[in-house]
Structure 1
Amino acid sequence: MGTIATCAVAYPADGLTMIGHLALPAGVDRRPAVLLGPEGMGLGDVECRRAEALAELGYVALAFDLHGGRYVGDPEEMPARCLPLLADPDRMRGIGRAALDVLRGEPRTDPDRIAAVGYGTGGAVALELGRDGAALRAIGTVDALTTDRPGGAARIRCPVWAGVGSQDPIMAPAQRDAFTAEMQAAGVDWRLTVYGGALHAFHHPPVDHATVPGVGYHPRHAQRARRDVVDLLAECLSVPEAQGA
């Protein structure tokens, strides 16, 4: 087997020059593709490695940017940047659409087989792409049980899988209930996995800077969530070699 290839991709969105991380599987044929959204801190090494792991499984993967090439590690600056974004579905859709256009424009991408997977703020962007009617085969989110304007979910055209920690204070039970009620009312093919005992960002290895309260890494559930994402992609994008994580 050959090796994957990676490169940085610059593109405009949200009034910024975004710098995404593109990972291509070995070969020259068209492959199903995954748009990968980062947490609120922005695109970092963890998301880049996730994109590369997906390329090793045979997917074209683009980890998109949120902050114009910046990683916002300051726990005070990050909410100041992300909370207004999360409150503005149109901005999130613009960020997602710009990245999706880049992924569709990649010659290795099969434009009829694209999924969006995101974590935290990136997961909210993935959901907003679905609510905006984007032609996706699957949406997967972790720590992103955002709800939308009434009736928005009716435009989602693919299965939705969501994962959340049971002890996540940011995605509290009331938010879980609102999310699942929205999906159910819209007739979406949805699933919610609750990982017992896990906090917010349970999937993200520890970082070397301060974080907001309620965040904590759970290695066992992180592995399970990774497998759940891979299973979703294998089911909806039909890649037989997508096994393991």
Structure 2
Amino acid sequence: MSIRFAFTLLLLFLANLVHADIQTKTITYQDGDVECHGYLAWDDAVEGKRPGVLVVHEWWGLNDYSRSRTEQLAELGYLAFAADIYGEGRTTEHPADAGKMAGEVRANVDQWRKRAQAALDVLKSQPQCDTSKLAAIGYCFGGATALQLAYSGADLDAVVTFHGALPAATLEEAKQIQAELLINHGADDTFVDADAVAKFKKVLDDAGVVYEFIAYPGAVHSFTVPSADTVGMPGIKYNKEADEKSWQAMRELFERKLGK
């Protein structure tokens, strides 16, 4: 065996040891009569309790992309749980089906928030979770879901959206927000127009909500999703710079609010 080959094997072995600390499992939970299948990830090398982060999927459902983001958060030392907002683990790769599933959820806001809260409760019930330090993040449809959770007055320290839909809260709902908000938005996103952005901001300003709104130049919808370019939908495209900057902005908020 050559020295170079042996060294390569050693590097692979060490890499596997590092990755092996990240543990994952599917958790089945109930929201009324609906069975949901969430995805939990944590670093087994971290001792004791750690902050919990709820992850909410795009309109495609809880797919590999959502799971990968959940694992990334675990690598940062958080306990991360990906919610199944559609229930029954439903996913799709077809925009028409995704729009239908997302529309069904949006049609009943109270049930939408209840489904998100059920997932947050699962996260809080995990023995590794420090329930005094909680956050929620969401992508596209998931961003709107995280906001709806905040509007309901959920006990969260931080909420982060990535190219999320921006449903405007009522003034009363905005006053219930406990979390600091970070909105990562594509400056050229044609799915969320300037009027929607203005209405969204005005209510938060009127209620005195602490938030940061970052619009990334040249970024459109789904700018954090590497596979976005393959979907074939106008207005959806990956942007590496915006992806990396928005993730770093999230990390800085979490370090400040969650202490990690």
Question: TM-score scaled by structure 2?
Answer: 0.87
Cα displacement (A) at 1:85: 2.0
Cα displacement (A) at 1:209: 6.2
| Paired letter, 1:58 | G
Residues 17-43 of structure 1: per-residue CA shift (max 9 Å, x gap): 211110112234010110011111111
Partner of 1:242: none
In structure 1, runs of 5+ residues without a counterpart are 240-245
Match of 2:170 among 135, 138, 149: 149
Match of 1:52 among 71, 92, 117: 71
Q: Is the 8 A contact 2:222 2:228 kept in 1?
A: no
Match of 1:7 among 25, 41, 44: 25
Inter-partner Cα distance in structure 2 for 1:11 and 1:103? 11
Cα displacement (A) at 1:207: 5.0
SS in 1 for 2:102: helix
Greater shift in the superposed pair: 85-94 or 37-46: 85-94
Inter-partner Cα distance in structure 1 for 2:233 and 2:206? 33
| Paired letter, 2:83 | F
Matched, 1:62 2:62: no
Matched, 1:90 2:120: no
Inter-partner Cα distance in structure 1 for 2:128 and 2:47? 7
Matched, 1:230 2:251: yes
Greater shift in the superposed pair: 166-175 or 13-22: 13-22
Residues 161-195 of structure 1: per-residue CA shift (max 9 Å, x gap): 10110111111111111111111111110110001
Matches within 5 A, 1:195-210: 195-206=216-227, 210=231
Inter-partner Cα distance in structure 1 for 2:28 and 2:230? 27
SS in 2 for 1:151: helix
Cα displacement (A) at 1:212: 4.0
Inter-partner Cα distance in structure 1 for 2:208 and 2:47? 38
Matches within 5 A, 1:72-87: 72-87=92-107
Change (3 A) 1:43 1:14: farther
Inter-partner Cα distance in structure 1 for 2:113 and 2:148? 6
Larger RCO (CA under 8 A, 6+ residues apart): 1
Matches within 5 A, 1:1-245: 3-13=21-31, 15-25=33-43, 26-67=45-86, 68-144=88-164, 145-206=166-227, 210=231, 212-239=233-260
Inter-partner Cα distance in structure 2 for 1:201 and 1:226? 13
Cα displacement (A) at 1:147: 1.1
Q: Is the 8 A contact 2:228 2:236 kept in 1?
A: no
Higher percent of residues as helix: 2
Cα displacement (A) at 1:87: 4.0
Inter-partner Cα distance in structure 2 for 1:133 and 1:49? 28
In structure 2, runs of 5+ residues without a counterpart are 1-17
Greater shift in the superposed pair: 119-128 or 6-15: 6-15
Cα displacement (A) at 1:211: 5.0
Cα displacement (A) at 1:125: 1.4
Residues 73-111 of structure 1: per-residue CA shift (max 9 Å, x gap): 111111111123234321221111110010010000001
SS in 1 for 2:90: coil
Larger Rg: 2
Q: Is the 8 A contact 2:51 2:258 kept in 1?
A: yes
Q: Is the 8 A contact 2:185 2:216 kept in 1?
A: yes
Inter-partner Cα distance in structure 2 for 1:211 and 1:96? 29
CA RMSD of aligned residues (A): 1.7
Q: Percent identity?
A: 32
